[in-house]
Amino acid sequence: GQNIDQPTEMTATEGAIVQINCTYQTSGFNGLFWYQQHAGEAPTFLSYNVLDGLEEKGRFSSFLSRSKGYSYLLLKELQMKDSASYLCAVRRDAGKSTFGDGTTLTVKP
């Protein structure tokens, strides 16, 4: 089976940096994804890691350590619009992806 853990809630200040952690235990691994989801909307793709290391994309970066079953999403220069749920998802194969329950990030002025 697959188990994905991420914090339920986080709060940060506008302009700051926040790191959202994700740990996973899976029976197979074919990549880890981070999605952003605003309330009432569908998830939108942020990043994808399949090899160990850091992937940077503008204000967002994602890190993966396969040996530790660990990933984090780093958000820099936080903006109010970054308030959303951030979902960590692990793909086992070409089909099924297992999602965590998401981390609700609140950005305060």
Partner 1 sequence: DTGVSQNPRHKITKRGQNVTFRCDPISEHNRLYWYRQTLGQGPEFLTYFQNEAQLEKSRLLSDRFSAERPKGSFSTLEIQRTEQGDSAMYLCASSPARADGQTQYFGPGTRLLVL
Binding residues vs partner 1 (CB under 8 A): 4, 30-31, 33, 35, 41-45, 48, 50, 87, 89, 91, 94-102
Contact between residue 39 and residue 53 where contact means Cβ atoms under 8 Å apart? no
| Cβ neighbourhood burial of 86 (10 Å; 0-12, 13-18, 19+) | buried
Choice between 5 and 14, CB closer to partner 1:
5
Minimum separation from the CB atom of position 44 to partner 1 (A)? 7
Task: Find the farthest-apart pair of alpha carbons in the chain and give their distance in angstroms, rounded.
Answer: 42
Min separation Cβ 101 and partner 1, Å? 5
Nearer to partner 1, 18 or 103 (CB): 103
Nearer to partner 1, 68 or 96 (CB): 96
- Please state, in angstroms and rounded to a whole number, the distance separating the CA atoms of residues 23 and 29: 13
C-beta separation of 32 from 24 below 8 A: yes
Closest CB 37 distance from partner 1, rounded Å: 9
